[in-house]
Every structure is written in C-alpha cells, then in structure tokens.
A and B are shown apart, each in its own frame.
Chain A
Amino acid sequence: MTDSHGSEGHPAHLQHHFDNSRQQFSASKLGMWLFLATEILLFAGLFVAYAVYRSNHPEIFIYAHYFLDTKLGGINTMVLLLSSFTMAWGVRAAQLGQRKLLVALLSLTLLGGFGFLGIKYVEYEAKWKHGLLWGTNYNPESHDDHTGADEHAEEVEEAPTAPETGAPDRLNLEPTVVPPSATGPAGTVPPGEGLPHGQGAEPDNVHIFFGIYFLMTGLHGIHVLVGMSLIFWILLKSIGGAYGPKYFTPVDLVGLYWHLVDLIWIFLFPLLYLIH
C-alpha cells in the first residue's frame, strides 16, 4: 500500500503518509544517516579492540604488520577511492537524469568493488597459505620447513619490501621492543634467529594481530559485498530508467552506504598496513 496512489499531486514514488517528495526525501536521508551511525558504532568495537591491543602490546603489531603488503593495501585504497568517486558522480548523473552516464558510472563502481575484493582475495590466500591466522590457527611456517631462502622470498609476497626499506630504521628506534637480531633481506636470516623477515624474535600472542586483522577486513569485506549487491540492484533499475531529477533517493542512499564503506577503509589502511 505504500507504493500506491497515482492520484493528483501524488507522484508514484510518494508514500501515502508523506505530504510531499521533499519530506519523504529528507526522511529517507535522515534514516540513512542514522543507519550509517549504527554502522560506525558497529565498527567502533573493532577499533576499540585494535586500540587496546595496539597500545598495550605494540610489539605484536610492529612484528606482525610486516606480513602485510603495503603496496597491495595502497592499491586497494586507491581502487576503493576511485569507486567512491564514480559513485558520487553517479548520484549527480541520477540527479540530472543522465541515464547512460549513470549506468556507466554504476558499472565502474561495481567494477571497483570487484577489483577490491580480488586484491583482498590475493592477500587472504597468501596469509592462509602461511598459517598467518587467528588464535590457535596461527601457525606460521617454522624455519625448519624452508627448503631454500629464495623460495621463501617468493612465497611471502606480501612482505617483500618491508625489511629493506623500513625495518632497519624502525629497529633502531624500538630497541627494547624489537631486538635488532637481523637486518638482512627476506629469507637470509639463519634459522633459529627469529623469523625470516628480519624483524627479530617473535613476541607472544602475535595471533591477536591476525585475529583483529581478519575481523576488521572481514567485516569490511562483507560490507563491500553488501554494497556491491545494492549497487547491482540500482544498476538494473537505472537501466530501466527508474531514476531522474524527481526521484533518485535509492541512488543517493546506496551512494552514502558505499562512501561509508570507503570511509572505514580509509582508516583501516593506515592502522593495519602502515604501522611504526
């Protein structure tokens, strides 16, 4: 009964309990912002867990973040930002009734989503392969398993540059936390001298970092998936020409959601990948 009423002064999209489009639009908008607030507070829990463990056990984070690939994380950040840009432009296209442009922009946005998840998959798979997981599943290859340094350097693709560029400086600065046991490139550390990445002895409870990493990126990934489904839905509708200057609320709201997903990643990236 909410979509009925084609009567005078009542456009098809206007629900019976609203007086006019403006009231309905601003109500939807407020509703969406409230929903985004709940999303922020949902993630807040993970940020709290992150903050507590990072501030009380910085050594875990400094040690573990070398296993993350800043390059891939950075590219993913850019992919997501670009898709946010096409989404914002898409809202404009909907507002102006530029149907073809809207379809194109939404498709690009969707593509961005796929790109992001694809890169995420590569990162997840590498961690899975090396046992860099949560809790009791955290079981990184022990040194004895290595058949050769070169193979290892290739395998752990997510941390190729860290030891060469950042590690030596960092190690000098944090001598009490991370003993400077080795500074060589990946795979050259003699077995028994800590991990092959050259960041010193492994601190206790490193698995907590990976628990937090997978929770944060996993929950974010689910949101990306949900956002992509929503974009796919409005993409189909916009092909049929459902949106124009008089009615573009769904595009606007899905856009808000997509930007929020982007917003959260903007914070996840430096917190997880760029640790000092």
Chain B
Amino acid sequence: MATEHNHHDQVGHVVPVPLLGGVIAALMILTWLTVFVTKFDLGSLNIFIALGIAVIKGALVVLFFMHLRWDAPINGIVLISSLLLVFLFIGFALMDSAAYAPDQIPGYAPRINP
C-alpha cells in the first residue's frame, strides 16, 4: 500500500482539506440562510431566493466535492447538457400547462370527491 504521493501515476486532482472544509462551512451557512430568509415575506421573490441559494450550494458541491473544477471539460458539458434538457422540459411543460389551465375544471377529481 503506497502512502507516498506519486505524481507520475496520479490521475485526478487531489483537493486540499482546508478547501473542502471551507466548502462545507459555506454549505452550512447557506443552509441556515435559506431557512432564515423564509421568515421574511418577499412575495414571489422567495422562491427565486430559495432556488438561487440552492443553485449556489449545488455549484459548490459540483465544482469542489465532485472535482468538476479540475476535471475534463467533457464531463462538465455532459452535466450542463442534462441541465439544459431539464430546463427545456420544465419550460415547455410550464408554458403549456399555464396556457391551458383556464380550460381545466377547478377541483375536478371525481374519485376523490364523488
């Protein structure tokens, strides 16, 4: 079991512990923050703030915990493509369902309220 750090065989980036520690600290603070801001009513801003904080937290995890910052670009492209498709899917589904919502019968659910 080799314990020494051999640069020639080394594949992948080694992340320093202080950096990992800094990231987890930031994640904790952001978690507290996202709960804290729900105490304030900012109308429709609330969900954007909550999601914004989640995106920052996610980015920290992806970039540092998941090594993407030092990884081959193709892996990042894979991630971004999948996220783009998620947005595409959500975007069209929201656009359409909002547009036909007025045609729906409010509260229609005969098996729930017969």
- Point out residues on A near B: beta carbons under 8 Å: 21-22, 25-26, 29-30, 33-34, 36-38, 40-41, 44-45, 47-48, 51-52, 55-56, 70, 74, 77-78, 81-82, 84-85, 87-89, 91-92, 95-99, 135-136, 138, 165-166, 169-170, 173, 204-205, 207, 241, 244-246, 248, 252, 255-256, 259-260, 262-263, 266-267, 269-271, 274-276
Residues of B within 8 A of A244 (CB): 1-3
Write the nearest CB–CB distance from A232 to chain B, whole angstroms. Answer: 20
Q: A97-B3, A266-B57 are in contact. Are A136 and B111 (CB under 8 A)?
A: yes
- Point out residues on B near A: beta carbons under 8 Å: 1-6, 9-12, 14-15, 17, 20-21, 23-24, 27-28, 31-32, 34-35, 38-39, 41-43, 46-47, 50-51, 53-54, 57-58, 61-62, 64-67, 71-72, 74-75, 78-79, 81-83, 85-86, 89-90, 93-94, 97-98, 101, 106-107, 109, 111-113
In the complex, what distance in Å separates the CA atom of A138 from the CA atom of B62? 37
Q: A37-B79, A41-B85, A205-B112 are in contact. Are A89 and B17 (CB under 8 A)?
A: yes
5 contacts between A and B (CB under 8 A): A29-B75, A56-B98, A92-B20, A204-B107, A246-B9
Asked if B66 and A97 sit within 8 Å, CB to CB, the answer is: no
Interface of B (DSSP majority class) = helix
Write the nearest CB–CB distance from B38 to chain A, whole angstroms. Answer: 5
Contact of B23 among A33, A56, A85, A166 (CB under 8 A): A85
Contact of A21 among B9, B58, B67 (CB under 8 A): B9
Q: A267-B58, A276-B47 are in contact. Are A92 and B17 (CB under 8 A)?
A: yes
Write the nearest CB–CB distance from B8 to chain A, whole angstroms. Answer: 10
User: Can you add 5 more A-B contacts, CB < 8 Å, to A166-B39, A245-B5, A262-B65?
Assistant: A25-B12, A37-B82, A88-B23, A99-B1, A271-B51
Q: Which residue of B lies closest to A208 (CB)?
A: B109
Asked if B35 and A70 sit within 8 Å, CB to CB, the answer is: yes
Q: A48-B89, A84-B61, A204-B109 are in contact. Are A245 and B47 (CB under 8 A)?
A: no
Contact of A246 among B6, B64, B71, B75 (CB under 8 A): B6
Asked if B20 and A37 sit within 8 Å, CB to CB, the answer is: no
Write the nearest CB–CB distance from B92 to chain A, whole angstroms. Answer: 9
Residues of B within 8 A of A166 (CB): 38-39
Contact of B112 among A40, A136, A270 (CB under 8 A): A136
Asked if B1 and A259 sit within 8 Å, CB to CB, the answer is: no
Write the nearest CB–CB distance from A79 to chain B, whole angstroms. Answer: 11
Residues of B within 8 A of A44 (CB): 85-86, 89-90
In the complex, what distance in Å separates the CA atom of A218 from the CA atom of B21? 30
Q: Which residue of B lies closest to A248 (CB)?
A: B12
Residues of B within 8 A of A89 (CB): 17, 20
Q: Which residue of B lies closest to A169 (CB)?
A: B41
Asked if A98 and B3 sit within 8 Å, CB to CB, the answer is: yes
Contact of B38 among A205, A262, A276 (CB under 8 A): A276
Q: A84-B65, A266-B58 are in contact. Are A51 and B20 (CB under 8 A)?
A: no
Residues of A within 8 A of B32 (CB): 74
In the complex, what distance in Å separates the CA atom of A136 from the CA atom of B114? 11
Contact of A30 among B34, B38, B74 (CB under 8 A): B74
Asked if B90 and A51 sit within 8 Å, CB to CB, the answer is: yes
Q: Which residue of A lies closest to B57 (CB)?
A: A266
